[in-house]
Amino acid sequence: MKHKKVIIPIIIGLVCILTYLAVDIVSGQKTNAVEVVINNKPLFIAQDKAQVEKEVARVVAREEKRIGNQITLAYQPQYHMVLVPRDEIASQSEITKAIEESLLLKTSAAQIRVNGQPTVCVADAATANQILSDLKVCMSNCTENEKIVKADFVEKVEIEEGIFPVREVMVAADALALLETGDVSPIEYTVKPGDSLWMIARNHDTRVANIMALNNLKTEDLQLGQKLLISCSNPLVSVESVIEGKKTEVIPYTTRVTTSKSVSSTQVKQNGQNGEKQVSYVLTKKNGRVTENKVLAEVITRKPVDRIVVTGTRSSYTMTASRGGSHVGGLSWPLSGGITSGYGAGRGHTGIDIDGDTGDSIRAAAGGTVTSAGRNGTYGLMVTIDHGNGLKTRYAHCSSILVKAGQEVSRGQVIARVGSTGRSTGSHLHFEVISGGSFQNPLRYLD
Ligand SMILES: [Zn+2]
Protein backbone atom coordinates (compact mmCIF):
# COMPACT_ATOMS: atom_id res chain seq x y z
CA MET A 1 0.00 0.00 0.00
CA LYS A 2 2.84 2.32 0.84
CA HIS A 3 4.46 1.94 -2.65
CA LYS A 4 1.22 2.36 -4.58
CA LYS A 5 0.64 5.85 -3.12
CA VAL A 6 4.00 7.13 -4.47
CA ILE A 7 3.88 5.48 -7.92
CA ILE A 8 0.44 6.76 -9.03
CA PRO A 9 1.38 10.50 -8.98
CA ILE A 10 4.58 9.72 -10.90
CA ILE A 11 2.65 7.93 -13.60
CA ILE A 12 0.15 10.76 -13.84
CA GLY A 13 3.04 13.23 -14.10
CA LEU A 14 4.76 11.30 -16.90
CA VAL A 15 1.52 11.02 -18.87
CA CYS A 16 1.02 14.73 -18.62
CA ILE A 17 4.51 15.55 -19.87
CA LEU A 18 4.27 13.11 -22.79
CA THR A 19 0.84 14.44 -23.77
CA TYR A 20 2.12 18.02 -23.68
CA LEU A 21 5.11 17.21 -25.92
CA ALA A 22 2.96 15.17 -28.31
CA VAL A 23 0.38 17.95 -28.71
CA ASP A 24 3.18 20.42 -29.26
CA ILE A 25 4.94 18.43 -31.95
CA VAL A 26 1.72 17.47 -33.71
CA SER A 27 0.23 20.98 -33.82
CA GLY A 28 3.59 22.63 -34.60
CA GLN A 29 3.04 25.57 -32.24
CA LYS A 30 6.72 25.90 -31.45
CA THR A 31 9.33 26.90 -33.92
CA ASN A 32 13.04 27.45 -34.16
CA ALA A 33 14.05 31.10 -33.76
CA VAL A 34 16.86 33.31 -32.49
CA GLU A 35 16.86 35.39 -29.38
CA VAL A 36 18.82 38.60 -29.94
CA VAL A 37 20.91 39.60 -26.95
CA ILE A 38 22.68 42.90 -26.60
CA ASN A 39 25.04 43.59 -23.73
CA ASN A 40 23.73 40.46 -21.97
CA LYS A 41 20.14 41.71 -22.22
CA PRO A 42 17.61 39.77 -24.32
CA LEU A 43 16.11 42.30 -26.73
CA PHE A 44 13.66 40.38 -28.91
CA ILE A 45 13.12 37.10 -30.71
CA ALA A 46 13.47 36.99 -34.48
CA GLN A 47 12.92 34.39 -37.15
CA ASP A 48 16.61 34.15 -38.01
CA LYS A 49 19.94 35.94 -37.77
CA ALA A 50 19.93 37.12 -41.41
CA GLN A 51 16.68 39.05 -40.91
CA VAL A 52 18.15 40.93 -37.94
CA GLU A 53 21.46 41.68 -39.67
CA LYS A 54 19.63 43.03 -42.70
CA GLU A 55 17.45 45.30 -40.53
CA VAL A 56 20.45 46.59 -38.54
CA ALA A 57 22.24 47.44 -41.82
CA ARG A 58 19.15 49.25 -43.11
CA VAL A 59 18.71 51.37 -39.94
CA VAL A 60 22.46 52.14 -39.82
CA ALA A 61 22.46 53.33 -43.46
CA ARG A 62 19.39 55.49 -42.88
CA GLU A 63 20.76 57.09 -39.69
CA GLU A 64 24.20 57.67 -41.21
CA LYS A 65 22.53 59.59 -43.99
CA ARG A 66 20.45 61.62 -41.51
CA ILE A 67 23.28 62.68 -39.20
CA GLY A 68 26.06 62.71 -41.80
CA ASN A 69 28.33 60.68 -39.62
CA GLN A 70 29.56 57.10 -39.38
CA ILE A 71 27.80 54.81 -37.00
CA THR A 72 29.41 52.01 -35.11
CA LEU A 73 27.72 49.12 -33.37
CA ALA A 74 28.26 49.64 -29.67
CA TYR A 75 27.75 45.94 -29.06
CA GLN A 76 27.91 42.87 -31.26
CA PRO A 77 24.47 41.29 -31.04
CA GLN A 78 24.51 37.72 -29.83
CA TYR A 79 22.12 35.16 -31.21
CA HIS A 80 20.78 32.29 -29.10
CA MET A 81 18.89 29.48 -30.77
CA VAL A 82 15.48 29.04 -29.13
CA LEU A 83 12.34 27.00 -29.61
CA VAL A 84 9.38 29.32 -29.03
CA PRO A 85 5.70 29.60 -29.86
CA ARG A 86 5.22 31.49 -33.12
CA ASP A 87 3.49 34.45 -31.50
CA GLU A 88 6.62 35.28 -29.51
CA ILE A 89 8.48 36.18 -32.67
CA ALA A 90 8.72 39.96 -33.12
CA SER A 91 7.16 41.58 -36.17
CA GLN A 92 9.25 43.53 -38.65
CA SER A 93 8.15 46.88 -37.18
CA GLU A 94 8.85 45.70 -33.63
CA ILE A 95 12.35 44.67 -34.73
CA THR A 96 12.98 48.07 -36.36
CA LYS A 97 11.76 49.90 -33.24
CA ALA A 98 13.87 47.73 -30.91
CA ILE A 99 17.00 48.36 -33.00
CA GLU A 100 16.34 52.11 -33.13
CA GLU A 101 15.69 52.41 -29.42
CA SER A 102 18.37 50.10 -28.13
CA LEU A 103 21.84 51.19 -27.29
CA LEU A 104 23.04 49.07 -30.17
CA LEU A 105 23.66 52.01 -32.49
CA LYS A 106 26.15 54.50 -31.20
CA THR A 107 28.19 57.15 -32.86
CA SER A 108 30.84 59.64 -32.02
CA ALA A 109 29.07 62.96 -31.57
CA ALA A 110 29.25 66.25 -29.70
CA GLN A 111 26.85 67.30 -27.00
CA ILE A 112 26.18 70.93 -26.13
CA ARG A 113 25.87 71.41 -22.39
CA VAL A 114 24.35 74.50 -20.80
CA ASN A 115 25.31 75.01 -17.15
CA GLY A 116 26.28 71.35 -17.11
CA GLN A 117 22.91 70.17 -18.43
CA PRO A 118 22.82 68.24 -21.73
CA THR A 119 20.76 70.04 -24.37
CA VAL A 120 21.35 68.88 -27.93
CA CYS A 121 23.67 66.36 -29.54
CA VAL A 122 25.04 66.88 -33.06
CA ALA A 123 27.38 65.06 -35.47
CA ASP A 124 30.68 66.50 -34.29
CA ALA A 125 32.43 69.33 -32.42
CA ALA A 126 32.81 71.42 -35.60
CA THR A 127 29.04 71.30 -36.17
CA ALA A 128 28.43 72.17 -32.51
CA ASN A 129 30.81 75.14 -32.73
CA GLN A 130 29.11 76.37 -35.89
CA ILE A 131 25.69 76.12 -34.22
CA LEU A 132 26.92 78.15 -31.24
CA SER A 133 28.36 80.93 -33.41
CA ASP A 134 25.22 80.98 -35.62
CA LEU A 135 23.14 81.16 -32.45
CA LYS A 136 25.05 84.25 -31.26
CA VAL A 137 24.32 85.94 -34.59
CA CYS A 138 20.64 85.10 -34.87
CA MET A 139 19.92 85.78 -31.20
CA SER A 140 21.58 89.23 -31.51
CA ASN A 141 18.88 90.22 -34.01
CA CYS A 142 20.89 92.77 -36.02
CA THR A 143 19.83 94.90 -38.95
CA GLU A 144 21.88 95.21 -42.15
CA ASN A 145 23.66 98.29 -40.83
CA GLU A 146 24.65 96.76 -37.52
CA LYS A 147 27.58 94.59 -36.67
CA ILE A 148 28.27 92.46 -33.64
CA VAL A 149 31.26 93.64 -31.64
CA LYS A 150 30.93 91.06 -28.93
CA ALA A 151 28.48 88.25 -28.19
CA ASP A 152 28.62 85.91 -25.24
CA PHE A 153 26.42 83.30 -23.70
CA VAL A 154 25.15 84.21 -20.26
CA GLU A 155 25.27 80.56 -19.18
CA LYS A 156 28.31 78.30 -19.16
CA VAL A 157 28.15 76.59 -22.55
CA GLU A 158 30.40 73.63 -23.28
CA ILE A 159 30.85 71.06 -25.99
CA GLU A 160 31.47 67.49 -24.93
CA GLU A 161 32.68 64.98 -27.46
CA GLY A 162 31.97 61.34 -26.89
CA ILE A 163 30.03 58.29 -27.94
CA PHE A 164 26.29 58.88 -27.89
CA PRO A 165 23.20 56.88 -28.83
CA VAL A 166 22.36 57.60 -32.46
CA ARG A 167 18.75 58.41 -31.57
CA GLU A 168 19.93 61.49 -29.62
CA VAL A 169 21.87 63.01 -32.52
CA MET A 170 20.01 65.90 -34.21
CA VAL A 171 20.63 67.61 -37.52
CA ALA A 172 22.21 71.07 -37.16
CA ALA A 173 19.14 73.15 -38.16
CA ASP A 174 16.86 71.34 -35.69
CA ALA A 175 19.43 71.65 -32.91
CA LEU A 176 19.80 75.40 -33.54
CA ALA A 177 16.02 75.94 -33.57
CA LEU A 178 15.60 74.04 -30.32
CA LEU A 179 18.33 76.06 -28.58
CA GLU A 180 16.90 79.35 -29.89
CA THR A 181 13.21 78.86 -29.14
CA GLY A 182 13.00 75.98 -26.70
CA ASP A 183 10.41 73.28 -26.99
CA VAL A 184 7.18 75.23 -26.55
CA SER A 185 3.79 74.94 -28.16
CA PRO A 186 1.88 78.10 -29.20
CA ILE A 187 -0.63 79.73 -26.85
CA GLU A 188 -3.97 81.26 -27.83
CA TYR A 189 -4.43 85.00 -27.41
CA THR A 190 -7.68 86.99 -27.68
CA VAL A 191 -7.41 90.49 -29.18
CA LYS A 192 -8.39 93.20 -26.67
CA PRO A 193 -9.37 96.85 -27.25
CA GLY A 194 -6.36 98.96 -28.14
CA ASP A 195 -4.23 95.98 -29.18
CA SER A 196 -1.93 96.11 -32.16
CA LEU A 197 0.17 93.30 -33.57
CA TRP A 198 3.28 95.23 -32.66
CA MET A 199 2.23 95.47 -28.97
CA ILE A 200 1.16 91.83 -28.83
CA ALA A 201 4.46 90.74 -30.37
CA ARG A 202 6.44 92.88 -27.96
CA ASN A 203 4.53 91.60 -24.92
CA HIS A 204 5.14 88.01 -25.97
CA ASP A 205 8.78 88.42 -26.90
CA THR A 206 8.16 87.55 -30.52
CA ARG A 207 7.96 89.36 -33.86
CA VAL A 208 5.03 90.72 -35.88
CA ALA A 209 6.17 88.63 -38.87
CA ASN A 210 6.13 85.46 -36.76
CA ILE A 211 2.55 86.05 -35.58
CA MET A 212 1.41 86.88 -39.13
CA ALA A 213 3.00 83.71 -40.49
CA LEU A 214 1.63 81.46 -37.74
CA ASN A 215 -1.92 82.80 -38.24
CA ASN A 216 -1.82 83.25 -42.03
CA LEU A 217 -2.59 86.96 -41.63
CA LYS A 218 -2.48 89.05 -44.81
CA THR A 219 -2.70 92.43 -43.09
CA GLU A 220 -1.92 93.81 -39.65
CA ASP A 221 -5.60 94.63 -39.07
CA LEU A 222 -7.06 92.92 -36.02
CA GLN A 223 -10.67 92.34 -34.98
CA LEU A 224 -11.74 92.69 -31.37
CA GLY A 225 -12.06 89.20 -29.87
CA GLN A 226 -10.03 87.61 -32.68
CA LYS A 227 -8.05 84.55 -31.56
CA LEU A 228 -4.36 84.49 -32.40
CA LEU A 229 -1.84 81.72 -31.97
CA ILE A 230 1.37 83.03 -30.50
CA SER A 231 4.47 80.98 -29.99
CA CYS A 232 6.53 82.49 -27.24
CA SER A 233 10.13 81.51 -27.37
CA ASN A 234 11.85 80.10 -24.34
CA PRO A 235 15.50 79.83 -25.38
CA LEU A 236 17.72 77.19 -23.76
CA VAL A 237 20.61 79.67 -23.81
CA SER A 238 20.79 83.46 -23.47
CA VAL A 239 23.02 85.69 -25.57
CA GLU A 240 24.28 89.07 -24.45
CA SER A 241 25.66 91.11 -27.31
CA VAL A 242 27.20 94.47 -27.99
CA ILE A 243 26.32 95.87 -31.39
CA GLU A 244 27.57 98.86 -33.32
CA GLY A 245 25.30 100.43 -35.87
CA LYS A 246 24.66 103.40 -38.09
CA LYS A 247 21.36 104.87 -39.13
CA THR A 248 20.03 107.86 -40.97
CA GLU A 249 17.62 109.94 -38.91
CA VAL A 250 15.29 112.68 -40.01
CA ILE A 251 15.75 116.08 -38.42
CA PRO A 252 12.24 117.53 -38.45
CA TYR A 253 12.08 121.12 -39.64
CA THR A 254 10.87 123.77 -37.25
CA THR A 255 8.10 126.18 -38.06
CA ARG A 256 8.68 129.84 -37.42
CA VAL A 257 5.65 132.06 -37.19
CA THR A 258 5.92 135.73 -37.90
CA THR A 259 3.11 138.17 -37.67
CA SER A 260 2.23 140.73 -40.27
CA LYS A 261 -0.32 143.51 -40.27
CA SER A 262 -0.69 143.34 -44.04
CA VAL A 263 -2.21 139.87 -44.28
CA SER A 264 -5.48 138.65 -42.85
CA SER A 265 -4.92 134.91 -42.94
CA THR A 266 -2.17 132.43 -42.34
CA GLN A 267 0.24 132.09 -45.27
CA VAL A 268 3.18 129.79 -45.76
CA LYS A 269 6.10 131.96 -46.88
CA GLN A 270 8.63 129.17 -47.09
CA ASN A 271 8.03 125.43 -47.16
CA GLY A 272 9.82 123.44 -44.53
CA GLN A 273 12.18 120.68 -45.48
CA ASN A 274 13.43 117.93 -43.20
CA GLY A 275 17.13 117.53 -42.65
CA GLU A 276 19.07 114.33 -42.16
CA LYS A 277 21.74 113.10 -39.79
CA GLN A 278 23.94 110.03 -39.59
CA VAL A 279 23.81 108.54 -36.14
CA SER A 280 26.30 105.96 -34.96
CA TYR A 281 25.37 104.05 -31.84
CA VAL A 282 26.19 101.14 -29.59
CA LEU A 283 23.49 98.78 -28.36
CA THR A 284 23.62 96.20 -25.64
CA LYS A 285 21.10 93.45 -26.24
CA LYS A 286 19.93 90.40 -24.36
CA ASN A 287 18.39 87.78 -26.62
CA GLY A 288 17.89 90.43 -29.29
CA ARG A 289 16.15 92.96 -27.04
CA VAL A 290 17.86 96.28 -26.45
CA THR A 291 18.86 96.76 -22.81
CA GLU A 292 21.12 99.77 -23.37
CA ASN A 293 21.35 102.31 -26.17
CA LYS A 294 24.23 104.78 -26.46
CA VAL A 295 24.65 107.34 -29.24
CA LEU A 296 28.32 107.63 -30.21
CA ALA A 297 28.18 110.43 -32.75
CA GLU A 298 25.78 112.43 -34.85
CA VAL A 299 26.77 114.03 -38.13
CA ILE A 300 24.31 116.34 -39.86
CA THR A 301 24.35 115.48 -43.55
CA ARG A 302 21.54 117.82 -44.55
CA LYS A 303 20.35 120.81 -42.60
CA PRO A 304 16.60 121.24 -42.21
CA VAL A 305 14.95 124.24 -43.80
CA ASP A 306 12.60 126.18 -41.55
CA ARG A 307 8.96 126.44 -42.45
CA ILE A 308 8.04 130.11 -42.27
CA VAL A 309 4.46 131.01 -41.67
CA VAL A 310 3.12 134.51 -41.70
CA THR A 311 0.06 135.07 -39.59
CA GLY A 312 -2.02 138.08 -40.26
CA THR A 313 -3.04 140.30 -37.39
CA ARG A 314 -5.57 142.21 -39.47
CA SER A 315 -8.97 141.15 -38.38
CA SER A 316 -11.15 139.67 -41.03
CA TYR A 317 -14.77 138.65 -40.81
CA THR A 318 -14.85 137.02 -44.21
CA MET A 319 -12.80 134.06 -43.11
CA THR A 320 -14.71 130.85 -42.63
CA ALA A 321 -13.96 128.49 -39.85
CA SER A 322 -12.91 125.80 -42.30
CA ARG A 323 -10.17 127.98 -43.75
CA GLY A 324 -8.65 128.84 -40.45
CA GLY A 325 -9.13 131.89 -38.33
CA SER A 326 -6.64 133.29 -35.93
CA HIS A 327 -3.68 131.16 -35.01
CA VAL A 328 -3.99 129.49 -31.66
CA GLY A 329 -0.81 127.42 -31.63
CA GLY A 330 0.42 125.16 -28.87
CA LEU A 331 0.54 121.90 -30.80
CA SER A 332 3.63 120.44 -32.44
CA TRP A 333 3.52 118.60 -35.77
CA PRO A 334 2.74 114.91 -35.24
CA LEU A 335 4.53 114.00 -38.49
CA SER A 336 6.59 116.07 -40.86
CA GLY A 337 5.38 115.84 -44.42
CA GLY A 338 3.34 117.61 -47.00
CA ILE A 339 -0.37 118.25 -46.48
CA THR A 340 -2.16 116.19 -49.11
CA SER A 341 -5.65 117.23 -48.08
CA GLY A 342 -6.54 120.28 -46.05
CA TYR A 343 -9.21 120.85 -43.46
CA GLY A 344 -12.70 121.07 -44.92
CA ALA A 345 -11.48 120.40 -48.45
CA GLY A 346 -14.94 120.91 -49.88
CA ARG A 347 -16.47 117.78 -48.43
CA GLY A 348 -16.36 118.23 -44.72
CA HIS A 349 -12.87 116.83 -44.16
CA THR A 350 -12.61 116.85 -40.37
CA GLY A 351 -8.82 117.07 -40.19
CA ILE A 352 -5.73 117.38 -42.32
CA ASP A 353 -3.93 114.58 -44.15
CA ILE A 354 -0.18 114.59 -43.73
CA ASP A 355 1.84 112.53 -46.18
CA GLY A 356 4.03 109.79 -44.70
CA ASP A 357 5.40 106.33 -45.34
CA THR A 358 4.10 103.26 -43.58
CA GLY A 359 6.06 102.88 -40.35
CA ASP A 360 6.99 106.56 -39.94
CA SER A 361 6.72 107.75 -36.33
CA ILE A 362 3.61 109.66 -35.29
CA ARG A 363 4.26 111.94 -32.33
CA ALA A 364 1.90 113.36 -29.73
CA ALA A 365 1.12 116.98 -30.65
CA ALA A 366 1.12 117.87 -26.96
CA GLY A 367 1.23 116.17 -23.60
CA GLY A 368 -1.95 114.55 -22.32
CA THR A 369 -3.81 111.36 -21.56
CA VAL A 370 -4.59 108.72 -24.20
CA THR A 371 -8.38 108.26 -24.07
CA SER A 372 -8.65 105.68 -26.82
CA ALA A 373 -6.21 103.55 -28.77
CA GLY A 374 -7.52 100.99 -31.22
CA ARG A 375 -9.73 100.30 -34.21
CA ASN A 376 -12.40 102.85 -34.97
CA GLY A 377 -14.39 102.10 -38.14
CA THR A 378 -13.31 104.07 -41.20
CA TYR A 379 -10.57 105.73 -39.16
CA GLY A 380 -8.75 102.40 -38.92
CA LEU A 381 -6.30 102.21 -36.05
CA MET A 382 -6.62 105.49 -34.17
CA VAL A 383 -5.28 107.22 -31.08
CA THR A 384 -7.12 109.98 -29.21
CA ILE A 385 -5.30 112.19 -26.74
CA ASP A 386 -7.03 114.49 -24.28
CA HIS A 387 -4.86 117.55 -23.55
CA GLY A 388 -7.21 119.07 -21.00
CA ASN A 389 -9.24 122.29 -21.29
CA GLY A 390 -11.55 120.59 -23.80
CA LEU A 391 -8.76 120.09 -26.37
CA LYS A 392 -8.31 116.70 -28.01
CA THR A 393 -6.24 115.42 -30.93
CA ARG A 394 -6.86 112.30 -33.02
CA TYR A 395 -4.42 110.33 -35.18
CA ALA A 396 -5.99 107.97 -37.70
CA HIS A 397 -5.15 105.24 -40.30
CA CYS A 398 -2.14 104.08 -38.24
CA SER A 399 -0.39 100.81 -39.06
CA SER A 400 0.32 100.19 -35.38
CA ILE A 401 -0.33 101.81 -32.05
CA LEU A 402 2.33 102.07 -29.38
CA VAL A 403 0.26 103.41 -26.49
CA LYS A 404 -2.66 102.23 -24.39
CA ALA A 405 -5.82 103.98 -23.25
CA GLY A 406 -5.20 105.66 -19.90
CA GLN A 407 -1.52 106.21 -20.59
CA GLU A 408 0.07 109.63 -20.04
CA VAL A 409 2.10 110.84 -23.01
CA SER A 410 4.41 113.76 -23.44
CA ARG A 411 4.71 116.18 -26.33
CA GLY A 412 6.74 114.63 -29.17
CA GLN A 413 6.46 111.08 -27.80
CA VAL A 414 6.07 108.46 -30.55
CA ILE A 415 2.55 107.09 -30.11
CA ALA A 416 1.87 105.23 -33.37
CA ARG A 417 3.15 104.45 -36.84
CA VAL A 418 1.86 105.76 -40.15
CA GLY A 419 -0.28 103.34 -42.10
CA SER A 420 -3.35 103.04 -44.27
CA THR A 421 -5.87 101.20 -42.08
CA GLY A 422 -9.61 101.97 -42.27
CA ARG A 423 -10.94 103.93 -45.23
CA SER A 424 -7.73 105.24 -46.73
CA THR A 425 -6.22 105.19 -50.18
CA GLY A 426 -2.56 105.31 -49.21
CA SER A 427 -0.29 105.67 -46.23
CA HIS A 428 -0.82 109.01 -44.51
CA LEU A 429 -1.80 110.49 -41.17
CA HIS A 430 -5.28 111.92 -40.78
CA PHE A 431 -4.86 114.39 -37.94
CA GLU A 432 -7.76 116.05 -36.15
CA VAL A 433 -8.05 118.74 -33.54
CA ILE A 434 -11.22 118.89 -31.48
CA SER A 435 -11.89 121.81 -29.19
CA GLY A 436 -15.00 122.20 -27.08
CA GLY A 437 -16.51 119.19 -28.83
CA SER A 438 -16.17 120.47 -32.41
CA PHE A 439 -13.60 119.95 -35.13
CA GLN A 440 -11.06 122.72 -35.64
CA ASN A 441 -8.62 123.43 -38.44
CA PRO A 442 -5.45 121.79 -37.13
CA LEU A 443 -3.29 124.41 -38.92
CA ARG A 444 -4.59 127.02 -36.49
CA TYR A 445 -3.22 124.96 -33.60
CA LEU A 446 0.05 123.68 -35.02
CA ASP A 447 3.12 125.73 -34.16
ZN1 LIG B 1 -8.09 112.66 -43.77
Question: Tens of pLDDT along 186-207?
Answer: 888 999 887 888 888 877 777 7
Distance 428 CA to ligand 1 centre (A): 8
CB count within 10 Å of CB 29 equals: 12
Distance 430 CA to ligand 1 centre (A): 4
Q: How far is CA 56 from CA 36, 168, 178, in A?
A: 12, 17, 29
| Residues making up the chain, counted from first to last | 447
pLDDT band at residue 270 under the 50/70/90 scheme: confident
DSSP string of 306-341?
-EEEEEE-S--SS--GGG--S----B--SS-S-EEE
First to last CA, the chain: 130
Distance 332 CA to ligand 1 centre (A): 18
Which amino acid is located at 193 in the chain? P
Among 343, 339, 351, which residue's Cα sits nearest to residue 255?
Answer: 339
3-state secondary structure of 377: helix
Question: Tens of pLDDT along 86-113?
Answer: 889 999 899 988 888 776 788 889 999 9
Determine which of 69-83, 242-256, 308-322 has the lowest per-residue pLDDT on average: 308-322
DSSP structure class, residue 273: B
Question: Tens of pLDDT along 11-32?
Answer: 665 655 555 555 555 455 789 9
Distance 211 CA to ligand 1 centre (A): 30
- Decide if 258 contacts 266 (C-beta within 8 A): no
Distance 295 CA to ligand 1 centre (A): 36
Global pTM reads 0.51
Distance 388 CA to ligand 1 centre (A): 24
pLDDT above 50 (res 3): yes
Residue 336's φ and ψ, nearest 5 degrees, are -95, 130
Return left, alpha or beta for 158; rule: phi > 0 is left, psi -120 to 50 is alpha, else beta: beta
pLDDT band at residue 316 under the 50/70/90 scheme: very low
Domains and CATH numbers, the chain: 29-103 (no CATH), 108-181 (no CATH), 187-232 (3.10.350.10), 319-447 (2.70.70.10)
CB count within 10 Å of CB 150 equals: 12
Distance 379 CA to ligand 1 centre (A): 9
Buried/exposed 209-246: b ≥16 CB within 10 Å, e otherwise = eebbeeeebeebbbeeeeebebbebebbbebbbebbbe
- Decide if 42 contacts 35 (C-beta within 8 A): yes
Q: What is the pLDDT of residue 315?
A: 36
3-state secondary structure of 390: coil
Distance 433 CA to ligand 1 centre (A): 12
What is the C-alpha to C-alpha distance for residues 81 and 243, in angstroms, rounded to an integer? 67
Q: What is the pLDDT of residue 54?
A: 92
Report the C-alpha dihedral over residues 175, 180, 183, 189, rounded to 10 degrees: -150
Distance 272 CA to ligand 1 centre (A): 21
Distance 5 CA to ligand 1 centre (A): 115
Distance 202 CA to ligand 1 centre (A): 29
Distance 339 CA to ligand 1 centre (A): 10
Residues linked to residue 147 through DSSP beta bridges, in sequence order: 244
CB count within 10 Å of CB 205 equals: 14
DSSP string of 213-227?
HHTT-SSS---TT-E
Distance 18 CA to ligand 1 centre (A): 102
Q: In what order do the strands lie in the sheet with 275-286?
A: 146-153, 239-251, 275-286, 289-302
Distance 225 CA to ligand 1 centre (A): 28
Among 180, 169, 181, which residue's Cα sits nearest to residue 110?
Answer: 169
pLDDT above 90 (res 339): no
pLDDT above 70 (res 84): yes
Distance 322 CA to ligand 1 centre (A): 14
Distance 345 CA to ligand 1 centre (A): 10
Mean pLDDT of 53-59: 90
Distance 441 CA to ligand 1 centre (A): 12
Distance 422 CA to ligand 1 centre (A): 11
Q: What is the pLDDT of residue 222?
A: 87
pLDDT band at residue 160 under the 50/70/90 scheme: very high
